[in-house]
Structure 1
């Protein structure tokens, strides 16, 4: 139970920290997912909503952590841990949405885009000469996956007849499955899926449509190339840490280890990978400002394509991935049919793993 409390507290702290710092590392021209011109990035409404958002998030985080972890400590019900994280995510979005709506209302009432020249900048070189895929970074998750598979093949004859596929908060196996190739190597399949999926996303980022600043498109395009390359390397590094965690989980299952602290071999690499990913992307997430204006243009007002400030739905945009309005990295264009196909494929792969792992 102690391990569960520690891990849930760390995860809640990571989510809360990310929620608090995001306004500071998001582009100032899209505060809380609302496109605003340069002259209004320090508008009193924007400043006030940033302050209100942080206080709301902090209060929500404290209440969620105390309630979730406290109830878990009293009842020992493990489902309360993921539920508390989900509640914090819901509260986080609620705080974001309130700020989004207040800024949108002020923008409309004040006619912030009145008299401005709006424009769109493109970098055609991203199609003809995109940043190179960092193949060397793919070596780490590939090596870990192969090592896990080889270890499993060697150990398979000596594995117990019943494999533990889930552990409770006390480190006791609460779900067993008969030994089979599907059960024993289910997490190897997860390693392959995670590596393939994050590699595909990395490739999509390198070819994705950037949100270039039309005021100084050349400098903006250079920054985008650097950030896209960094994002691709970061995702492959995260794939390596996740496969390392899956390797630890496989070894626990194959050896029948059932101590509470053994779960750290699984969770620590994954949390470390997520944390490092957040830090690296956060440090470079904001496009440098202060470059002299070159064109006299400002970003076009495209809020109509962003539902709730987070979901991008634009059927006229053929891009599959676009930079996030609020947050780190990139998001899908849900107006592109390929986005639905990608999500359906991910769900199908998850279903396959569940069948193999629990179906025997």
Structure 2
């Protein structure tokens, strides 16, 4: 990697991250404001609008600071790999701290305003249980679950094959590949390094697989005012989500397989495969963001459910409800779904990515 490539790759990536964070509240739906349940009629109240502007201002300042840090890493220290990791992580941590600050301010403002305003909270409608809808939903989830299994099984089989070919792997193996697909970091071969690489690729692949299925299974919130139309809309969006998750699974697993093959042969990752799969993944993620934004579960008129209670959320972004059997629920702030850490299964799943990252840092 050189200065030009580092600049072309890292700064636009940081810019994309900034844009997504800047508009996160707009993409979060009409049920929560910075992680706090709130009647959307009051989103434009002066107190809340001022906090929204403050969040965007502080995030913009952070973007400028971490862009400067990126440029310093590239041109002053020639630390190209550091420039692609440190500023991104720093900016993510910074914006999370800004979010927590604004979340607490929104929570305090809501409590203060609630003394004089009675309808600040979401309307507590009755939960709708429709067995026909549940059957149709489960049928769609089952179909896509079977499709997601195919690329996941393939990446696991490739990982096992790499381990069985340990003796034939060259003594020096690549541990990192640049944007062109060429290896730019190497290490002496050892079984633990190969095993760690295999576990990381297959582990992330399994996480993508489980997350996709769990997201499709997440609680759907029908609208009591137009039940039939709401059911049709939910099933339509569920199919669209299933399709985008399938594309994401296939593109991610192909990248993981390419990395495993490159590890086996101590070679570069195919440039066409790397970039085509990356572009497909980005496009699928953008389309899924659009679907999530339009999803009926995030509309103002969706029925009230247990995950709408503020008391079960830590900082409005970590769901902790031991009495809710749901594995995944829709996020309050941002796009997508999050795990319920109130259950044992949720705690384990929440910890797994950190374990994989730790293993990769220690052994690779």
* TM-score relative to the length of structure 1: 0.77
**Following TM superposition, by how much is the alpha carbon of 1:228 offset from its aligned partner in structure 2, in angstroms?**
3.7
**Following TM superposition, by how much is the alpha carbon of 1:216 offset from its aligned partner in structure 2, in angstroms?**
5.2
Is 1:94 equivalent to 2:97 in the alignment? Answer: yes
Correspondence 1:130-145 to 2 at 5 A:
130=138, 131-133=140-142, 134=144, 135-136=146-147, 138-140=149-151
8 A Cα contact 2:24 2:334, kept in partner: yes
Q: Residue 245 of structure 1 is aligned with which of 255, 279, 293?
A: 255
> CA 1:146–1:175 in structure 2 vs 1: closer, same or farther (change >3 Å)?
same
**Following TM superposition, by how much is the alpha carbon of 1:234 offset from its aligned partner in structure 2, in angstroms?**
2.5
Q: Distance in 1 between matches of 2:190 and 2:32?
A: 52
**Following TM superposition, by how much is the alpha carbon of 1:163 offset from its aligned partner in structure 2, in angstroms?**
1.7
Q: Distance in 2 between matches of 1:194 and 1:32?
A: 29
**Following TM superposition, by how much is the alpha carbon of 1:80 offset from its aligned partner in structure 2, in angstroms?**
4.3
Match of 2:124 in 1: 118
Extract unaligned runs of 5+ from structure 1. Answer: none
Match of 1:268 in 2: 275
8 A Cα contact 2:183 2:267, kept in partner: no
8 A Cα contact 1:212 1:220, kept in partner: yes
8 A Cα contact 2:151 2:253, kept in partner: no
Q: Distance in 2 between matches of 1:302 and 1:46?
A: 19
**CA displacement, residues 308-348 of structure 1 (integer Å, 9 cap, x when unaligned):** 12111122212111011111111011112211122345555
Match of 2:215 in 1: 205
**CA displacement, residues 172-216 of structure 1 (integer Å, 9 cap, x when unaligned):** 754313265x65576555443333322222222232223455665
Is 1:281 equivalent to 2:283 in the alignment? Answer: no
**Following TM superposition, by how much is the alpha carbon of 1:97 offset from its aligned partner in structure 2, in angstroms?**
2.8
Q: Distance in 1 between matches of 2:338 and 2:300?
A: 28
Q: Residue 234 of structure 1 is aligned with which of 222, 234, 244?
A: 244
Is 1:178 equivalent to 2:196 in the alignment? Answer: no
Q: Distance in 1 between matches of 2:256 and 2:300?
A: 49
> CA 1:146–1:119 in structure 2 vs 1: closer, same or farther (change >3 Å)?
same
**CA displacement, residues 28-56 of structure 1 (integer Å, 9 cap, x when unaligned):** 22121121124323333333333333333
Q: Residue 6 of structure 1 is aligned with which of 8, 16, 19?
A: 8
**Following TM superposition, by how much is the alpha carbon of 1:84 offset from its aligned partner in structure 2, in angstroms?**
0.6
8 A Cα contact 1:210 1:322, kept in partner: no
8 A Cα contact 2:25 2:33, kept in partner: yes
Q: Residue 105 of structure 1 is aligned with which of 103, 108, 124?
A: 108
Deviates more, 1:313-322 or 1:197-206: 197-206
* TM-score relative to the length of structure 2: 0.77
Secondary structure of the 1:325 match is coil
Secondary structure of the 2:329 match is strand
**CA displacement, residues 112-150 of structure 1 (integer Å, 9 cap, x when unaligned):** 444985224244536544233313455456557767877
Q: Distance in 2 between matches of 1:51 and 1:118?
A: 29
Secondary structure of the 1:132 match is helix
Q: Distance in 1 between matches of 2:98 and 2:228?
A: 35
**Following TM superposition, by how much is the alpha carbon of 1:71 offset from its aligned partner in structure 2, in angstroms?**
2.3
Match of 1:334 in 2: 341
Q: Distance in 1 between matches of 2:102 and 2:357?
A: 35
Deviates more, 1:87-96 or 1:108-117: 108-117
Q: Residue 85 of structure 2 is aligned with which of 73, 82, 85?
A: 82
Q: Distance in 1 between matches of 2:309 and 2:225?
A: 16
